[in-house]
Amino acid sequence: MRLFATVVMIGLLLFSPASPAFSQQPEPDPPEPVENTATVRPLINWAATTFELSAGYRTDNLNWNIAGNLQGQNPNVRSELKWSGVKIYQFNLSNRTVIKDRFYIRGNLNYGMVASGDNRDSDYDGDDRTLEFSRSTNSVDGNSVWDGSIGVGPRFTFFDGTLAVSPLVGYAVSEQDLNIVDGYQALSSSPNPPPVGPIANLDSRYETHWEGPWIGVDLMVSIPCKQGPFTRIGILFSGEVHWIDYDAEANWNLREEYRHPVSFTHEAEGSGYRAGVKMLFETKSRWGMHAGMNVQEMTTDAGLDRIFYADGATADTRLNEVQWRSFTFEAGVSYRF
């Protein structure tokens, strides 16, 4: 985030108006004031930047499962949690800056409010998700998500600027704060089982943190328009491959034997991808419009699940996998400097 702030500050400095390099010979009478278009030229010559403000709709699916021990056995899937159809209303601030037609910077910051979703919690006594002895179906009704990313790289243009290609290296951070409420125990057959029926006072939370470098490419196709309300229409394709460090904290509020507010933690490493397409519409003014969509999938390798008990003891088992899938559609306005 410090890098993103630095880029914005550099951009603001570059965008400050510059004095004309040469002046005309003085006239006997003072000339009438005229608009000095030269104040725009340094911005075009040295840097061109576009800020975009968007609102959008996003859906997330998140699931993880653990084994019965560190060796991934007894059984190989002991417990599994799934969040599905998590509906999120998201706001996005993004920037694209080109310096001297050679250097390209792209950054974005998202914040989303979780509206609703579903959760399922299942426990098994047999391998491969057999001998299920406990299952609860629950709801998600709040909390938030946020994402930040920045990438930099060279910019290459072809066909008189109609096509621009920018290979990128970058860094990204994402967090999700998901709750589990309105529970219903649908299956219960273990010793000392919770009764089948509504689960009173359920208000558990699971907070994720995804972070790591990425490499990618932006491909922009720009088509001038001679008629109509738009002067140019662009199509921006983006693709990224990510390497991630993952960690999470959970608070299982009804488990009295667990410590609170941190009942257990997760740690793992993994990889994933992100891809998107965006339509850009430029007008004769500096304002424009855009609409686009993004998909992403992140998956971890095996990691560590550590439980913290109320008496101070801890227990470790294997975190088999965490998987996150997301789809976003957004639209908004842009301003070109």
> Do residues 176 and 246 touch, judged by C-beta distance below 8 A?
no
d(CA 226, CA 99): 27
pLDDT at position 337: 87
pLDDT at position 12: 38
> Do residues 232 and 220 touch, judged by C-beta distance below 8 A?
no
Task: Give the global pTM.
Answer: 0.84
pLDDT at position 17: 37
CATH 3.40.50.80: does it fit domain 2-18+33-336? no
Percent of the chain whose pLDDT exceeds 70: 86
* Residue 151 reports pLDDT greater than 90: yes
Helix or strand or coil: residue 150? strand
List of residues 6+ apart from 261 with CB closer than 8 A: 251
- Give the mean pLDDT of 119-134: 96
pLDDT at position 101: 87
pLDDT at position 34: 38
- Give the mean pLDDT of 246-265: 97
- Give the mean pLDDT of 240-266: 97
- Give the mean pLDDT of 271-284: 96
- Give the mean pLDDT of 60-76: 97
d(CA 324, CA 60): 7
- Give the mean pLDDT of 240-268: 97
Cis amide leading into 31 (omega within 30): no
Who wins on pLDDT, 206 or 11?
206
First to last CA, the chain: 22
List of residues 6+ apart from 139 with CB closer than 8 A: 116, 117, 118, 119, 180, 181, 182, 183
- Residue 45 confidence class, pLDDT cut points 50, 70, 90: low
Structure tokens at 81: 């949690």
* Residue 313 reports pLDDT greater than 70: yes
CB-based burial label for 63 (10 Å; 0-12, 13-18, 19+): middle
pLDDT at position 115: 97
Q: Where are the beta strands (DSSP E) in 225-313?
A: 232-251, 264-282, 287-300, 303-308
Who wins on pLDDT, 25 or 332?
332
d(CA 43, CA 153): 20
* Residue 102 reports pLDDT greater than 50: yes
Average pLDDT, the chain: 89
* Residue 130 reports pLDDT greater than 50: yes
Give 6-37 pLDDT, tens digit per residue: 433 334 333 333 333 333 334 444 444 433 33
Of 33-37, 67-71, 170-174, 272-276, which gets the smallest average pLDDT? 33-37
pLDDT at position 47: 85
Bridge partners (DSSP) listed for residue 2: none
Who wins on pLDDT, 77 or 160?
77
Structure tokens at 91: 């706001």
